[in-house]
Amino acid sequence: MTLSLETALAEAPVIVILRGLTPPEASVIGEALVQAGVRVVEVPLNSPEPFESIRILSESLAGRAVVGAGTVLDPGEVDTAAAAGARIVVAPNTDAAVIGRCRALGLEPIPGVGTATEAFTAIKAGATRLKLFPASSYGPAHLRALCEVLPIRTEVFAVGGIGPGELMLWHDAGAAGVGAGSNIYRAGAIAADVAAHARAFIEQAREVWSA
């Protein structure tokens, strides 16, 4: 059975960013994350052999997690990510062509935004989920102001430099969830350590977003 993105995020509102992941470790790290409660992962395309890692994760975590590609910058990369099994496409920027290609292929785009102009450009192109990036530079107050003018069904995820101790601030500012990278996974980390970091982060996120 396919796990929907909506269900995955409802279970754990955290997208885990596996920057630097390699294909040989993909299945082991992926299994450790799922056992720790993670339901959404992305492999940035500036990782070694990212499409192969996406393929491995998509197959090994089928029905248990939603797998996506990150740092996607052009429509051609969307095609390759889709062929590898990606179901979400995350970007650091807003590119209408990337968003449009995602929609054409049935993938969920999560473009990066910072300003209201970028946010509304992304929404006009077809995005319903946005990534405030880098969140640590903008801060919760910026997100709170941005959310006041966005369509009510738009979800914004805060990504970049967010630790588990800051989750309540982002929740209160209107974030639908967060992206977590180095707080959970660093290139070369062993699975047991990744699982421990993920479990602590996920437990805190669930507590915050269920309050």
Residues of the chain with pLDDT under 50: none
How high is the pLDDT of residue 50? 98
Q: Which of 25, 77, 108, 131 is catalytic?
A: 131
Closest CA to 55 of 76, 69, 75, 37: 69
Q: What is the pLDDT of residues 54-113, one digit of tens each?
A: 999 999 999 999 999 999 999 999 999 999 999 999 999 999 999 999 999 999 999 999
CA 142 to chain centre: 20
How high is the pLDDT of residue 73? 98
3-state SS class at 72: coil
Range of the domain at 32: 5-209
3-state SS class at 157: strand
Q: Which of 42, 77, 108, 155 is catalytic?
A: 42
d(CA 70, CA 19) in angstroms, rounded, equals 9
Q: How many domains does the chain have?
A: 1
8 A C-beta contact, residue 108 and residue 87 = yes
Active-site annotation holds for 42:
yes
> What predicted TM-score, i.e. pTM, was given to this entire model?
0.97
CATH assignment at residue 166: 3.20.20.70
Active-site annotation holds for 131:
yes
